[in-house]
């Protein structure tokens, strides 16, 4: 049997199903904050519909601007639950995918698309259950004639992505958490969620100035040691 350059490209370690399920409990913003405010893709990559959400292991792809040949290879090789995350160079003069590719991905049980490039057939995709994040919309179709990278580290939207990293997306955008950091980030996210719930309760109780604000102002030299904002 002949081998190809794509043999075993999908055989990498992924975040676990348990980690993905736990990550679904948190907003992308919470995860990004506790990850050191790192991992957020450029704001141009947004859900087609604000209600779309996704979480799962990254299946990285790099394509040339306007060409989706390797995107199709990823569709053939990705495993159920994978998020195909495509460095499309932010190209917006033609779409990299549309209804046919989303239909195939949904049938294969994939977890979603995150594409730094344009989508098309948006009317149809907006009404479907498959979560799609893209950097624009364009009715023109792509070419299918150029090589790229698949199942390897990429850079997308100013963020480095390794195969198997955790990808989480919601109405705020997309954050990528390195696989090795997922457990510590999820633990920190739980603590932050509790702290934010406490702060909301304080606001409802009439404590409108955040307790940390005076110390931050003193540290910045804005107010003196014995001064307070309130």
Note down the domain range covering 87. 17-181
pLDDT at 126: 96
Greater pLDDT, 187 or 208: 187
Asked if residue 224 belongs to a domain, the reply is: no
- pTM (predicted TM-score): 0.93
Region 195-221 average pLDDT = 89
Asked whether the predicted pLDDT for residue 143 surpasses 90, the reply is: yes
CATH number at residue 70: 3.50.30.40
Asked if residue 190 belongs to a domain, the reply is: no
Asked whether the predicted pLDDT for residue 221 surpasses 90, the reply is: yes
Q: What's the total number of domains in the chain?
A: 1
pLDDT in tens, 57-103: 999 999 999 999 999 999 999 999 999 999 999 999 999 999 999 99
Asked if residue 207 belongs to a domain, the reply is: no
Region 129-157 average pLDDT = 97
The tokens of 139 are what? 């009715």
Asked if residue 45 belongs to a domain, the reply is: yes
Asked if residue 21 belongs to a domain, the reply is: yes
Asked if residue 11 belongs to a domain, the reply is: no
Contacts of 221 (CB under 8 A, 6+ apart): none
Asked whether the predicted pLDDT for residue 1 surpasses 70, the reply is: no
pLDDT in tens, 162-197: 999 999 999 999 999 999 999 999 999 999 999 998
Asked if residue 206 belongs to a domain, the reply is: no
Asked if residue 4 belongs to a domain, the reply is: no
pLDDT at 208: 87
Contact status, residue 43 vs residue 35, Cβ threshold 8 Å? no
Asked whether the predicted pLDDT for residue 2 surpasses 80, the reply is: no
């Amino acid at each position: 049997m002949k081998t190809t350059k794509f043999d075993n490209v999908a055989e990498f370690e992924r975040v676990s199903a348990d980690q993905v399920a736990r990550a679904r409990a948190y907003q992308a913003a919470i995860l990004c904050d506790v990850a050191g405010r790192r991992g957020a893709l450029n704001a141009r990559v947004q859900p087609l519909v604000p209600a779309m959400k996704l979480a799962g292991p990254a299946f990285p792809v790099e394509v040339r601007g306007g060409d989706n040949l390797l995107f199709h290879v990823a569709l053939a090789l990705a495993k159920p639950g994978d998020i195909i995350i495509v460095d499309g160079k932010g190209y917006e003069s033609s779409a990299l995918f549309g209804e046919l590719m989303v239909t195939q991905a949904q049938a294969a049980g994939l977890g979603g698309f995150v594409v730094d490039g344009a989508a098309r057939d948006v009317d149809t995709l907006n009404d479907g259950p498959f979560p799609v994040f893209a950097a624009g919309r364009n009715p023109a179709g792509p070419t299918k004639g150029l090589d790229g990278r698949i199942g390897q580290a990429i850079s997308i939207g100013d963020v480095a992505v390794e195969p198997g990293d955790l990808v989480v997306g919601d109405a705020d955008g997309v954050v990528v958490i390195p696989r090795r950091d997922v457990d510590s980030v999820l633990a920190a996210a739980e603590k932050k969620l509790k702290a934010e719930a406490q702060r909301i309760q304080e606001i409802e109780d009439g404590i409108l100035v955040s307790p940390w604000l005076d110390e931050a102002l003193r540290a910045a030299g804005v107010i003196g040691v014995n001064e307070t904002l309130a």
